[in-house]
Structure formats: C-alpha cells, structure tokens
Structure 1
Amino acid sequence: METRRLGRLGHQSSVLIYGAAALAEVTQEVADQSIQEALDAGINHFDTAASYGEAELRLGPWMPRIRDQIFLATKTGEREREAAWVSINNSLERLQTDRLDLIQLHAVGDLDELDKATGSGGALEAAIRARDEGMVSAIGITGHGHDAPATHREALKRFPFETVLTPLNYALGRDDDYRAAWDDLAAETQRVDAGLMIIKTISRRNWTEEDHRYTTWYEPFDEQEKVSAALAWVLKHPQVTGIATAGEVSLLRLLVEAERDRGNWTDARMAEVLDGVVAYASPFVAMPI
C-alpha cells in the first residue's frame, strides 16, 4: 500500500487510515478479524476516538503486539480542560498503552466549537499538557459539516496543529463554496507542513430509509466501481496524506481493493462513474445529534 508523509510529523502513513469507528458495536472476534485484515493490507495508521463506543477497548488487546508497528491516534470530544484531561487518560487506559502518536480535538466543525476547544480552560490546554508530559506526541483537529474546512483553516491560525482531519468527496467538491474553502485549507496545510487527512470519501448521501444496511450514519457507496472511483478521486489530490476508512467493517475490503486498483483510474473515468450516481449529495444535510 502506498504511504505518504504525514506532514512535519514525518511518519510514512498508509493512504488508508483504519477508521476504528467501525469497531464501535462489534464483538472482539469481529474486531480481531477486521484489524488483522487491515494489517495484512499494509495499513499502519489507526484512528479511533473516545466516543466510538467500544472501539478503544477492541483495539487495546492488540497494542502489546503491534504498538511499535503502527501510528496510533485517538480523539477527545470534550471541550473543557479537565474533562478532556480525564478523557485522554481514559483513552490511554482503554487502549492499553502509555503513549499516543496523536490526540485530536474531535468534531470541531464550526467557530463556536473551535472557540470552546481552544479558548481559556478549553480542551486544547489538556492536549498540550498531555504532549508536554510525554503522553502524546502531536495534536490535531477534526470536524464534520459544511463549515469544517473554514473552521480548520481558522484553527491553524490559532495553534500549530500537526494534523487536520476534514471532509472531502466528489459531491462536496462540486460545491463551489465548499471547494474554495477546502482548497484554502489544503494550501495552508502545505504551507505549515501539517498532515491533511480526509473523512467521508465514500459517502453517497444521508440515509433515505429506516432499515440502514450499515453502521455508518450516512449511506456509503458499497459497489466496487463507485468506491474505487470515489477513493481514486480524493487520493489524486497530492495534499492529502490519507483517508479514514468507513465506519463499517464489511466495507474495508472494498476500500483495500480500491487502493490497489486506483492506478487504473483516469480523471475522465472517475468523472464518468461519479457523475452518473443518482442522488449523490453531501452527507451533512441532516447529521445525527
């Protein structure tokens, strides 16, 4: 699997980042199979969060074996310093490790959330403390929603975050305002040498029926051709250091195959497939609370 340099951190991260939201509600047996599948595919960057159900607990038993082989990232969604400090320490305990490669301020998708997280007494102060005490090596920021790129661009003005995890897919890229904000963010990450990671690569739209087929809160592509086109389109952007895999264990194999095959995709072929998708839209029209 291709690796790309994760900004000034220097880590050569696999372009597929294991999105451990997929482990939120699965058994340890299912988690073990999925984690092994990721490792066998060459994935060396694992991304989880305190709010991802049982995900940290499912990854924990693997750490004694693989901790030195992977880049390990988690997130805190807390906004106040003390609560975030407790969250970071709990994550270390659940993950059965004494160090994280990256702690991320989670779900910061608008300026109000950014103000809370980066203001006096905010979660950023806990992340800095964790870094200064050797518990984490770097600090990043993540977020969903149409305002995420602009918010993350502002975040880089306030603090030298080493990484940004922000949304991009073909549907979002067709929105001129969104694309302009994303391009501005991407240029800034290049200027400050921050890692730029992507979420929602294979999102198709919000769910339109009650019987959801997958554990993702949005409806994902689940046909190989569309997954391959969507992944190839995002990874053609040289600023992107990697994409987080979808929060559903059964979709991992499609993404792995898409990464292997993406050299066969021309711009014209990507556009032909993705322009032909019916009801292809932003997943942020209706987000879960």
Structure 2
Amino acid sequence: MIQRTLGKTNFDIGVIGFGGIPIQRLPEDKAVSIVKLALEKGVNFIDSARAYGDSERLIGLALKGHNKKCFIATKSMSRTYDAMKKDLEISLKNFDCGVIDLYQFHLVKTKGQLDQIMGPDGAYRALKEAQEQGLVKEIGITSHDFDLINYALDTDYFSTIQFPYNIVESQGEALFKKAAKKNIGVIIMKPMAGGALDNGNLAIRYILENPNISVVIPGMDEEKQVEENLNAGINYIPLSEDEKDAIDKIKRELGTKFCRRCGYCLPCPQGIDIPAAFLMEGYFTRYDLTEWAQSRYDALPHKASECIECGACEPRCPYNLQIRDMLKDVALKLEKR
C-alpha cells in the first residue's frame, strides 16, 4: 500500500486506514474478523472513539496477537480534565494496551468548546499529563467546522486534524494545504459522504489525488468493503478523464441535496442544529446505525419537526439546499413515534 507520513508524528502509515464506527453493530466474531482482515491486507492505522459503542473493545480483541506495529487512534467528546482522564482510562482498558498513539478531541464545534478544552480544568491538560506519563503519544482534534479547524491549526497544540473530505465536500482543501505546511497530519473522515456515494474505489482515489492528505479512514463492516477500499491504495491508479467526468456528474447530482455541515445556515430561530439533524439522518439511513443515530438525534434539544418554515436558513446556505424540505424528511424518519 502507498505510505505517507502522518505529519509531525513521523509515523509512516498506509493511506487507507480503518474507520471504526460501523463495526459496533456487528456480532463480536464478525467485527473481529473484519478488523483482522484489514490488518492482514496492510492496514496499520485504526481510528475509533469512545462514542462508537463497543468499537474500541472489538478493535482491541482483533489486535491481540497482531505482530506488526499498528497506529491506534481514538477520541473523546470529554471537554473537562476529570472527564477526559476517565475516558482515557476506559480506552486503554478497551484496547488492552499500555499506550494510545493518537488521542483526539472529538467533534469540537465552537471556539468556546475549544477554549474550555484548553482551559486550566480542560481536557487538554489531562492528555498532556498522559503524554508525559507515556500513556498517549500524540494529540489531535476532529471537527466538521472549517473555521474551528483553521483556528486550531494556528495554535500549534495538535499533531493531527481530522476533517470531512469527499467528492461532494471539498471545502477542507485550504485547511489541508495549511496543515501540510505546518507538518500537521491530515486524517480524512466521511470519504463516502456519509454513505451517499456508492463507488468506494472511485471515492477513495479522488481523495488520494490530494498530496496534502495523510490517511483516509472509511468505515468498513463487510469483507467486500475491505477488499474494495484497500485496493484503491494498494493498486492505486490516477483518475482517468472519464472518471473525472463521472465525478463531476456526481457533484452535480448530489450538490443540490447534500449537507456539507458548514454551519452557515445557523443560527436557527427555533434552535434546531440543522447540520447535526442531517448528519444523524445520514447515519440512520445509510450506515445502518439506526439505534446509535436515533439515540443521538433524540438527545438534540430541538428536533427537525420544530421547524416553522420561516426560511431564514436557506438564503444563508452556499449550496442552495432546500433545507425546509430536508428537515421534513428528517422528522419523518427519526420522529416516527
């Protein structure tokens, strides 16, 4: 597989990593076999999170007896010192390892959240202490917000960033270029646009065309997905003109109905977190993570059905999405009760 260096970590990794979100819904033996197959095929970067159900523990089981170095990355939505210490302890137990290579702040949405993380009683202090104790090697950050990651890149606190990038979400390219100049590793999530794309080989090769990207982490829960996704990095072929035309067609077709989670639609007068509602609908519909997505949608303080169709959001959307109609669809799927 093609190898790239994960920024200042100086760790050489295969360009295709393993995204650990979907295995949480599989039986234990099936999940372990999927991870082991990926390892056998050359994957040496695995990403999980405390929020991904049983994912960490399942990956830990698969890694037992694996005799090649694998870069373990996980993340936590904890924002305080005490909460992060507890999450780190759980992660170490789940992976059954003495050190986690990369621990990331998961889904940071606002500068206020980042300020809390970086404060005296924030989660960053817990990870820095763990780093000094040899429990964590590197610290990273993940977000769907361009401005938040752009700000984080200027702080020099992080070894890696994780951000969405795919055929229909290219807004991060400026961030990746900036990160490369600062020698910060770039991890790509949502390569299949939350399941909206169905040609994994084409989608991943599109991402690999960008030299500023370190690794892409598609979620995999079937053997055929492992084979198809890894083949894109093992037998990499540059995109042909016909494939570029196909990509342009996909952009045109999905562009009018796909949320990039840029957040320009906010604030909603009714308090609806519009991008989060669309994100959970994507997980519910396309990832077959119905219970996981439903529980997170249920936790949102304001639901899609609270939309009064004022239309304040739509003129702000740079992609001209029909947000009001899309919110009706979310309510129909996730508020059936």
Could you state the TM-score of these two structures normalised by the residue count of structure 2? 0.72
For the pair 1:227 / 2:200, whether they are aligned, the reply is yes
Counterpart among 229, 252, 258 of residue 226 in structure 2: 252
Partner Cα distance (1:123, 1:26) in 2: 31
Shift, 1:73, TM fit: 1.0
Shift, 1:232, TM fit: 1.3
Q: Match for residue 136 of structure 2?
A: 136
Aligned amino acid, residue 158 of structure 2: F
Q: Match for residue 304 of structure 2?
A: none
SS of residue matched to 1:74: strand
Distance change in 2, residues 1:139/1:191 (3 Å)? same
Partner Cα distance (1:23, 1:109) in 2: 25
SS of residue matched to 2:177: helix
Counterpart among 122, 130, 154 of residue 151 in structure 2: 154
Q: Match for residue 269 of structure 1?
A: 242
SS of residue matched to 1:170: coil
Aligned amino acid, residue 282 of structure 1: C
Q: Percent identity?
A: 23
Q: Match for residue 241 of structure 1?
A: 214
Q: Match for residue 210 of structure 1?
A: none
Considering Cα pairs closer than 8 Å and 6+ residues apart, tell me whether 1 or 2 has the greater RCO: 1
Q: Match for residue 196 of structure 1?
A: 186
Distance change in 2, residues 1:187/1:257 (3 Å)? closer
Aligned amino acid, residue 240 of structure 1: I
Alignment gaps of 5+ in structure 2: 262-274, 281-296, 298-337
Alpha carbons 2:205, 2:238 under 8 Å: kept = no
Q: How many residues were matched structurally?
A: 261
Q: 253-262 or 73-82, which moves further after superposition?
A: 253-262
Partner Cα distance (2:195, 2:142) in 1: 21
Q: 252-261 or 74-83, which moves further after superposition?
A: 252-261
Partner Cα distance (2:195, 2:57) in 1: 26
Shift, 1:119, TM fit: 2.7
For the pair 1:282 / 2:259, whether they are aligned, the reply is yes
Shift, 1:22, TM fit: 2.1
Distance change in 2, residues 1:162/1:67 (3 Å)? farther
SS of residue matched to 2:134: coil
Alpha carbons 1:76, 1:84 under 8 Å: kept = yes
Superposed CA RMSD in Å reads: 2.0
SS of residue matched to 2:254: coil
Partner Cα distance (2:165, 2:44) in 1: 22
The C-alpha deviation readout for 1:99-131, integer Å capped at 9, x for no partner, is 011111111133233223223311111111110
Partner Cα distance (1:16, 1:34) in 2: 15
The C-alpha deviation readout for 1:21-63, integer Å capped at 9, x for no partner, is 1221212211122012201221011111111100111112234
SS of residue matched to 2:279: coil
Q: Which runs of 4+ in 1 moved over 6 A?
A: none
Partner Cα distance (2:136, 2:187) in 1: 19
Q: Match for residue 326 of structure 2?
A: none
Alpha carbons 1:171, 1:282 under 8 Å: kept = no
Partner Cα distance (1:115, 1:61) in 2: 36
Alignment gaps of 5+ in structure 1: 204-217
Alpha carbons 2:73, 2:101 under 8 Å: kept = yes
For the pair 1:32 / 2:32, whether they are aligned, the reply is yes
SS of residue matched to 1:165: strand
Partner Cα distance (1:256, 1:33) in 2: 16
Could you state the TM-score of these two structures normalised by the residue count of structure 1? 0.83
Q: 74-83 or 108-117, which moves further after superposition?
A: 108-117
